[in-house]
Amino acid sequence: MRLLRSSASFPPALRGAVAAIGNFDGVHLGHRALIAAVHAEADKAVKPRAVITFEPHPRRFFVPSSAPFRLDALETKARILNGLGINATLALPFDATLAAQSPQDFVDHILARDLGLGHVVVGYDFTFGKARAGNTDMLRELGARHGIGVTVVAAQGDGEAYSSSRVRGLLEAGDVAAANRQLGRPWEILGVVEHGDKRGRELGFPTANVALTDFQIPKFGIYAVRAVLDGEVHDGVASLGIRPTFDQTDVKLEVYLFDFSGDLYGRAMRVEFHAFLRPELKYEGPEPLKIQIAADVVAAKAAMAGR
């Protein structure tokens, strides 16, 4: 996985590359159509394949107070793109300087001078430059001055265009199965296992408390999940919510892994969401909750069977 964090780190070997440009949040099926176009052009020109994205997400820069909304961590995005055959992912720092850059300067200074791209691939609704003043027609015009070809990919969808916003809406509704179909993979959260209140251990189901950062929060409830730790894969059941039985208010992701024992604290965990089992409920104390968790384990194992 080659993840670059500035245009200065773009190596000479990648000059002339065919690159897709966009946020690529979720790397959903619409994004994958852009990647397919990159491969088609790179195969013809025998050139490297790259993705140019932005970090932080521009929405986070312009509206820093917005609720968590990202579908992927940058590292997750780069890993998925690498698996799709992309040679390098460049995350351009999205700051005040980049936000104020005109469309012409973005093409002249970044795409042509700094990166030396040979061809770019964008979506039909791509905009760029200060106040989003640049569009696909302007990109073609400005790119032609530097010999940079441009491919614009039409909207992709199943009657409705695939989009990161659409995936977020499905997750908020708890329809993780539909969200995963839009993504072409299970949606996941990447986080570090933290110390919790150890109530799961007291109930007989020790859980890993996975830190939540700037991720989209799906519907509160119980999910069948698959966790990946340093290449090890474990199925499990996860609770996402505020734990109303214990009158808590902070949002937690707690994961119980089947047939696992060991110390997880401080380890990075990828939690893939495969199925929504039920909404979060309040129980009259620990014993009814314990009975329900046992039933949730059975339901999660059935949901994960054969996956």
Residue 202, pLDDT > 70, answer no
Residue 193, both tokens: 């296992």
Q: Is the peptide bond before 218 cis (omega within 30 degrees of 0)?
A: no
Residue 95: the pLDDT is 96
What pLDDT score does 200 carry?
60
The tokens for 96 are 């005040």
Structure tokens at 226: 């698959």
What would the pLDDT profile of 3-23 be if each residue is shown by its tens digit? Answer: 999 999 999 999 999 999 999
Token pair listed for 267: 């380890």
Q: What sign does the dihedral 93-97-103-108 (CA atoms) show?
A: negative
Whether residue 288 has pLDDT greater than 90: no
**What pLDDT sits at residue 199?**
65
φ/ψ of residue 115, rounded to 5: -100, -25
What are the φ and ψ backbone dihedral angles of 234, each rounded to 5 degrees?
Answer: -135, 130
- Alpha-carbon torsion 212, 215, 221, 225, what sign? negative
What is the C-alpha separation between 146 and 60, in angstroms, rounded? 32
Strands 208-210 and 187-194: antiparallel
Q: How many CA atoms lie within 13 A of 300 on its CB side?
A: 27
Kindly report, residue by residue over 29-86, the tens digit of the pLDDT. Answer: 999 999 999 999 999 999 999 999 999 999 999 999 999 999 999 999 999 999 999 9
- Residue 43 makes CB contacts below 8 A (sequence gap 6+) with none
